[in-house]
A = this chain, B = another copy of it.
Amino acid sequence: MSAPDALAELRDRLRRFAAERDWGQFHAPKNLAIALSVEAAELLEHFQWLTEDASRGLPAGDLAKVREELADVLLYLVRLADELGVDLAAAARDKIELNARKYPVDKARGTSRKSTEL
């Protein structure tokens, strides 16, 4: 038997979590997209006054808080994808393949330019 896939497991647990609390009424995709965006900003807040270098070496206490914010983003992302009927893992694989075509190694190496400016 294969190990359960982490994304599928999360999706099922969150679906049950919401159902037990009768939260379906609040979980319109519009509201979940807001919540996701708010959590992404809470994550970003931890970095706002840090230099890039400092952001690579967070103290353990800060990292523990950041870890929790990363989880919050993932939970809303998985919940939103589920409400929309989107298979997140498949969508991500498709997007990596698209990015590989948009950012070929020889043109994209060492630059942060957008694909339209390569």
A93 contacts which chain B residues (CB < 8 A)?
Answer: 10
Option from B8, B28, B53, B94 in Cβ contact (under 8 Å) with A55:
B28
Q: Which residue of B lies closest to A57 (CB)?
A: B29
Number of residues in A with C-beta < 8 Å to the partner? 78
CB within 8 A of A52: which of B21, B51, B71, B88? Answer: B51
Asked whether A84 and B63 contact (CB < 8 A) given A28-B53, A44-B38, A55-B29, the answer is yes
A52 CB contacts on chain B under 8 angstroms: 28, 30-31, 51-52
Chain A interface (Cβ within 8 Å of chain B)?
1-3, 5-8, 10, 13-14, 17, 20-23, 25-26, 28-31, 33-38, 40-53, 55-56, 58, 63, 66-68, 70-75, 77-78, 80-81, 83-84, 86, 88-89, 91-96, 98-100, 103, 105, 108-110, 112
6 closest A-B pairs by CB? A41-B41, A71-B95, A30-B55, A49-B112, A28-B52, A6-B89
